[in-house]
Amino acid sequence: MANHSQLGFQDASSPIMEELVEFHDHALMVALAICSLVLYLLMLMLLEKLSSYTVDAQEVELIWTILPAIVLILLALPSLQILYMMDEIDEPDLTLKAIGHQWYWTYEYTDFKDLSFDSYMLPTNDLPLGHFRLLEADHRVVVPMESPIRIIVTADDVLHSWAVPSLGVKTDAIPGRLNQTSFITTRPGVFYGQCSEICGANHSFMPIVIESTPLNHFEAWSSTLSS
């Protein structure tokens, strides 16, 4: 959950999000090195007298042609690795289907015979003490901890987007089309997200609440709803 005046990302709660945070820090260090070098060269050109070495130097031109290519490779390789990791879905333990509506979500646990529910935002007047306004839902999505979860996302009316920042998940919900992604929660807890595609007047009132629990708690919860 994000805090007031927070400058960085939310705490990573999935392996993919951990990789994204590390890549973000890596890219920032590369950008810092580039800015420092450019600032140093600007100050050098302003303070030093011009000479034939700075005006005409083939070696320098060769360096500033090759160096950007190396920097791009250093950024591209880890980025491509993360992209492939995000698209990889290998033998999920649970498949969840999320359907976007105006303006609520419907969830179906396809591995169970009859386990589905609608998830609406809790009104402020009904919000329990200590819960987050505009982020709490009347039905949470409960998933087992440390288990690969595949989520299939679609929409019933207009474009939506199913996004949970702390899990590193963001998938567009398109009517007539099925998109899929996966995640693994590395710790128990409650993770909040929202629809990230402008979908109408109540776009801001489509929260997503993921509750990660141990496997035995998830089995007890699912058996209670299925019965």
Q: Give the model confidence (pLDDT) of 115-151 as tens digits.
A: 999 999 998 888 888 888 889 999 999 999 999 999 9
Same domain assignment for residues 98 and 162: yes
Tokens describing residue 203: 């776009």
DSSP 171-208: EEE-BT--EEEEE---S-EEEEEEE-S--STTGGG-EE
Q: Is residue 206 located within the same domain as residue 99?
A: yes
Check if the beta carbon of residue 146 is closer than 8 Å to that of residue 139. Answer: no
Alpha-carbon distances, residue 141 vs 39, 76, 221 (angstroms): 50, 35, 11
Q: Which domain holds residue 59?
A: 15-87
Tell me, what amino acid is at 24?
A: H
Rounded to whole angstroms, the Cα distance separating 198 from 146 reads 32
Total domains in the fold of the chain? 2
The pLDDT assigned to 85 comes to: 87
| DSSP string covering 96-148 | EEEEEETTEEEEEETTSSS-EEEE-BPPGGGPPTTPPTTT-BSS-EEEETTS-
pLDDT in tens, the chain (227 residues): 677 777 888 888 899 999 999 999 999 999 999 999 889 988 887 887 765 555 566 777 888 889 889 989 989 999 999 988 888 887 899 999 999 998 899 999 998 888 999 999 998 888 888 888 889 999 999 999 999 999 999 999 899 999 999 999 999 999 999 999 999 999 999 999 999 988 888 888 999 999 999 999 998 988 887 66
pLDDT at 173: 93
Q: Does 110 lie in the same domain as 208?
A: yes
Q: Is residue 74 part of a domain?
A: yes
Shared domain for 66 and 176, answered yes or no, is no
Q: What is the pTM of this model?
A: 0.83
Structure confidence at residue 190 (pLDDT): 93
Residue 159 sits in the same domain as residue 203: yes
Q: What is the pLDDT of residues 53-63, one digit of tens each?
A: 555 667 778 88
